[in-house]
Amino acid sequence: AQSAERISDAHIVRTGAWAEVALTAHDCKTPIKGIPDLVDGDGWIYDLKTTEDATERTVLRTILQYGYHLQAAHYLNLVSHYVDGVKGFRLIFVEKQKPYAGAIYEISGDLLELGRKTVAGLYQTYDKCVAENNWPGLPAHVTKLDALPGAKKTAPDAGITF
C-alpha cells in the first residue's frame, strides 16, 4: 500500500493522460503499432511491470533480458507521432510479494540509444521481409542435437551419462 501511495504521490497521472490506447504510425514502409500502458499529460510514457525484486541492479538486468529498452525506443517513436514534446519512457516496477515495494525507472542515455539503434535495424529488417515476402526463421529441416563438446552430464532420473 505504501508503494502505491508513493507512486501516486509521484503525480504520474495528470490532466490529458491516456491509458492503453492502441496507436499506429507509418514510421517505416509498414505501419508500427503499440499500446502504451499510460501516456501522461506531461509527455511521459509509463509501463507497469511486476517483479520479484525491484532493486536497481535486478531491474537493469531484467530490462536487458526482456528488451524493455527496445520497448522504450519503439514507444517513444510511436507516441511522438501523436504527442509533441515526448519527454521519455519510464517503467514502474512493483514487487509481487508483500509489502509490494515499487520504484520508477527511466530508460535513458546509452541504454536508450542502444534500444533506438536496435529498433531502427528491426524496422529495416521488417520492411525488407515485407518487400521480399521472405520471412527467415528457424530451420525447416530436422536439426540433430548432441552433447556439447567436452561436456559430461548425467541425466539423474535415468542414470544416463553422456
Specify the DSSP class assigned to residue 138: S
Per-residue pLDDT at 96: 95
SS3 109: helix
H helices of the chain, in order, are 2-9, 56-66, 68-79, 109-132
Mean pLDDT by 10 residues, the chain (162 residues): 47 67 82 92 93 95 96 95 92 95 96 96 91 89 81 60 52
d(CA 106, CA 75): 13
Q: CA triplet 114, 118, 124: central angle to 5 degrees?
A: 150
Cell triple for 95: 514487487
What is the DSSP track for 88-105?
EEEEEEEESSTT--EEEE
Per-residue pLDDT at 86: 94
d(CA 113, CA 69): 9
Q: How far is CA 145 from CA 148, 149, 155, in A?
A: 9, 11, 16
